[in-house]
Amino acid sequence: MTDSDYLSNFFEVGNIEEAKQKILTPENGVTTEERWQKETIPLVNMLLNKLQISEGNTVIDYGCGIGRISKDLLEKINCTVIGVDISKSMRALAEFYCNSETFMSCSTTSLKNLTNTGFRANQAFCIWVLQHAEDPLYDLQILHDVLLDGGHFLVLNLDGRCLPTSGGWKNDNINVKLEIEKIFKVVEYFSPPKDSITDLARLTSFCGLFQKR
């Protein structure tokens, strides 16, 4: 895929409602708002359980959007969340939406710069993001480098790729699961909790817990 094919500004939005439509599209008669309300809490509970997030931990929400997961996570446990996203508008809206002293948003470049100064996070998660990423190998390396040794990383992702391009949605055939396994140790693959994803998504996605080697 050439640089001109990928629409890097596809996820730029004007307000929260527009952001929600981009983050969770209506599916099989289920509206964006219905999905937002139904799916978020089960995913947060999954993160708390699988990542074993403790008070005081620093967690990376990679591809945070407007902070859908971060907001509810911070309401359940006193941790610090760094939301990372390529969209400037979503990062700005995330600060407003999360409205927390223990949430901050930044770009991938900023996170990489923080890592280069010695910063490390306890855990990271990536929900419905890597299937849309222009260069998932680059993102996975950033996530690997920012974690403490032995730190855990949770992924929920489509099996295939779904890239926004000037010619519509495209699949570049990168196997994201295989690329994760090259960099991280597999802890387990498991089914997402009931009601956390649609029935269609459950058939075409994977959920896994990984560890920095």
Name the residue ranges covered by the structural domains of the chain. Answer: 16-212
CB atoms within 10 A of CB 91: 21
Looking at 3.10.100.10, 3.40.50.150, 3.30.390.30, 3.40.50.720, the CATH number of the domain 16-212 comes to 3.40.50.150
The per-residue pLDDT for 4 is: 62
- CB 38 within 8 Å of CB 115: no
The per-residue pLDDT for 29 is: 86
Inter-CA distances, 111 with 46, 79, 85, 145, 185, Å: 25, 18, 10, 10, 22
The per-residue pLDDT for 20 is: 97
Inter-CA distances, 107 with 41, 73, 82, 139, 165, Å: 25, 20, 10, 11, 21
157 - beta bridge partners? 206
CB atoms within 10 A of CB 190: 13
153 - beta bridge partners? 124, 210
**pLDDT tens, position by position, for the chain (213 residues)?**
555 699 999 999 999 999 999 999 998 888 999 999 999 999 999 999 999 999 999 999 999 999 999 999 999 999 999 999 999 999 999 999 999 999 999 999 999 999 999 999 999 999 999 999 999 999 999 999 999 999 999 999 999 999 999 999 999 999 999 999 999 999 999 999 999 998 889 999 999 999 999
- CB 126 within 8 Å of CB 205: no
